[in-house]
C-alpha cells in the first residue's frame, strides 16, 4: 500500500518504522472514520472499532470536539460527526459531481423495488459509500452513511470496479493488496491475478457478493453491483442490496439486474455529459484567457 507516495506495509498496532506516517495522526484518522461510518458511538465502541487504547480514544475524542469535527449527543454519552466533517472533502470535486448526477437514479431504483442502493467509489484498497438510499426504505438493517468503507475484494462494488479499471490501475491495486499484509482469500487472489475474475465480470456486466461479511450485520445481506463511467473511465459503482434470506443471489440478478443496468447506463450518460461540458468550459476559459494575455503583451 502507498500513502502519499511512501511505501506502507505496516498494519495498525505494529512497530512503526522510518518513513511510516505519524502514529498519532493515523489513530486520530481511524477514530474519526469510525465515528463517521457508524453515525454515533460511545467511547468504548470508538476504542474497540478504531483498535486504540481507551485512554487514547478519550484524548482523541476531546481533540476532535475542540476542533468541532465531532460533538457529544445531548441525551447520552455518544459522539457523532458535525457538519464540519464535510469540509474535509471540499477539494474533491469529481465525486461531488458523480453524487449529484447519480442521486435521482438511485432514488428511483429504490422507489421501484424497495431495496436500498448505494453509490461507491474507490479510495486506496477500499470502496467507500458516497451516497445511499438506505434512509428511504424499511427494507434495510442499517442506515449506511457516506464514508462507510468496505475492503475492495470483499464487496460486489470492489470486484466490479476492478473488472473495469484500467490495467495499470488494477495492477497497482493488486500490488497494494499483496503488500498490505492483510489476509486474503487465495482463490480470489489467483483469479484476480490471472484475469479470470475480471473477465467473467466484464462478460456478465455485473458483480455479485453473497452474504456480505464487512457490514454492520455480517452475512445478512447480499449485493449486485454495476460500474458507472465518466469521461475518463470507470468512476464508481452502484450497488443494490437485498436481504440474503429473501432470495438467492441468482434470483435477485434475474429480477433486478435489468433495471440496475439501465440506472448505471443513465448515470454514466449524465456523468459523461457533465464531464464533457465541464471540459469544454475549461478549454474555452483557457483559450479566452490566453487571448487576453496575448492582447496585453
Which residue, of 37, 67, 88, is where some domain finishes?
A: 88
What residues make up the domain containing 152? 91-279
Q: Give φ, ψ of 151 to 5 degrees.
A: -60, 135
Which residue, of 54, 88, 122, is where some domain finishes?
A: 88
Q: Which three cell numbers stand for residue 16?
A: 512503526
List the CATH number of the domain containing 242: 3.30.450.40
More reliable by pLDDT, 46 or 286 = 46
What secondary structure does DSSP assign to 198-265, as a single string?
HHHHHHHT-EEESS-SSSSSTTSEEEEEEEEEETTEEEEEEEEEEETTTS-HHHHHHHHHHHHHHHHH
212 falls in which pLDDT band (50, 70, 90)? very high
| pLDDT for the residue numbered 270 | 94
Does a structural domain hold residue 285?
no
More reliable by pLDDT, 199 or 36 = 199
Q: Whole-number mean pLDDT of the chain?
A: 85
Sheet holding 207-209, edge to edge: 149-151, 126-132, 117-123, 233-243, 221-230, 207-209
Which residue, of 73, 88, 103, is where some domain finishes?
A: 88
Regarding whether 255 and 111 lie in a shared domain, the answer is yes
Contact 133, 110 (CB under 8 A): yes
Residue 28: CA count within 13 A, CB half-sphere: 15
| pLDDT for the residue numbered 293 | 41
Does a structural domain hold residue 296?
no
Please state, in angstroms and rounded to a whole number, the distance separating the CA atoms of residues 180 and 203.
Answer: 29
Regarding whether 258 and 146 lie in a shared domain, the answer is yes
Does a structural domain hold residue 242?
yes
Does a structural domain hold residue 291?
no
Q: Which three cell numbers stand for residue 280?
A: 469544454
Regarding whether 228 and 171 lie in a shared domain, the answer is yes
Q: What is the pTM of this model?
A: 0.69
| pLDDT for the residue numbered 120 | 96
Pick the range with the lowest mean pLDDT from 6-20, 145-159, 198-212, 227-241: 6-20
| pLDDT for the residue numbered 190 | 92
Please state, in angstroms and rounded to a whole number, the distance separating the CA atoms of residues 139 and 49.
Answer: 26
| pLDDT for the residue numbered 20 | 57
Does a structural domain hold residue 292?
no
Q: Which residue has the cell 474507490?
A: 122
Instruction: Summarize the confidence of residues 40-44 as an average pLDDT.
Output: 93
Does a structural domain hold residue 290?
no
Does a structural domain hold residue 289?
no
Regarding whether 267 and 126 lie in a shared domain, the answer is yes
pLDDT at 39 over 60: yes
| pLDDT for the residue numbered 76 | 87
Regarding whether 106 and 41 lie in a shared domain, the answer is no
- Tally of domains within the chain: 2
Regarding whether 45 and 111 lie in a shared domain, the answer is no
Nearest CA to 180 among 216, 153, 148, 149? 153
List the CATH number of the domain containing 50: 1.10.10.10
More reliable by pLDDT, 16 or 30 = 30
Regarding whether 78 and 115 lie in a shared domain, the answer is no
Regarding whether 66 and 120 lie in a shared domain, the answer is no
Q: What is the pLDDT of residues 69-124, one digit of tens each?
A: 999 988 889 999 988 887 776 665 557 789 999 999 999 999 999 999 999 999 88
Amino acid at each position: 500500500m502507498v500513502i502519499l507516495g511512501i511505501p506502507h506495509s505496516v498494519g495498525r498496532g505494529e512497530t512503526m518504522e522510518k518513513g511510516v506516517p505519524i502514529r498519532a495522526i493515523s489513530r486520530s484518522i481511524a477514530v474519526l472514520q469510525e465515528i463517521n461510518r457508524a453515525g454515533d458511538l460511545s467511547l468504548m465502541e470508538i476504542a474497540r472499532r478504531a483498535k486504540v487504547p481507551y485512554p487514547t480514544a478519550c484524548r482523541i475524542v476531546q481533540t476532535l470536539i475542540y476542533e468541532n469535527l465531532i460533538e457529544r449527543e445531548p441525551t447520552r454519552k455518544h459522539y457523532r460527526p458535525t457538519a464540519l466533517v464535510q469540509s474535509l472533502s471540499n477539494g474533491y470535486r469529481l465525486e461531488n459531481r458523480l453524487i449529484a448526477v447519480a442521486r435521482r437514479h438511485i432514488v428511483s431504483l429504490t422507489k421501484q423495488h424497495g431495496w436500498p442502493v448505494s453509490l461507491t467509489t474507490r479510495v486506496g484498497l477500499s470502496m467507500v459509500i458516497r451516497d445511499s438510499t438506505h434512509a428511504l426504505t424499511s427494507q434495510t438493517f442499517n442506515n449506511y452513511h457516506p464514508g462507510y468503507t468496505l475492503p475492495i475484494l470483499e464487496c460486489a462494488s470492489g470486484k466490479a470496479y476492478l473488472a473495469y479499471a484500467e490495467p495499470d490501475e488494477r495492477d497497482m491495486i493488486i500490488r497494494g493488496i499483496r503488500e498490505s499484509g492483510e489476509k486474503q482469500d487465495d482463490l480470489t487472489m489467483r483469479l484476480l491475478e490471472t484475469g479470470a475474475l475480471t473477465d467473467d465480470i466484464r462478460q456478465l456486466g455485473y458483480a455479485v457478493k453473497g452474504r456480505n461479511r464487512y457490514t454492520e450485520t455480517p452475512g445478512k445481506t447480499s449485493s449486485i453491483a454495476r460500474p458507472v463511467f465518466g469521461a475518463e473511465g470507470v468512476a464508481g459503482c452502484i450497488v443494490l442490496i437485498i436481504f440474503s434470506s429473501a432470495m438467492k443471489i441468482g434470483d435477485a440478478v434475474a429480477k433486478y439486474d435489468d433495471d440496475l443496468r439501465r440506472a448505471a447506463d443513465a448515470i454514466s450518460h449524465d456523468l459523461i455529459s457533465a464531464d464533457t461540458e465541464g471540459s469544454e468550459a475549461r478549454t474555452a476559459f483557457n483559450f479566452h484567457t490566453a487571448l487576453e494575455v496575448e492582447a496585453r503583451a
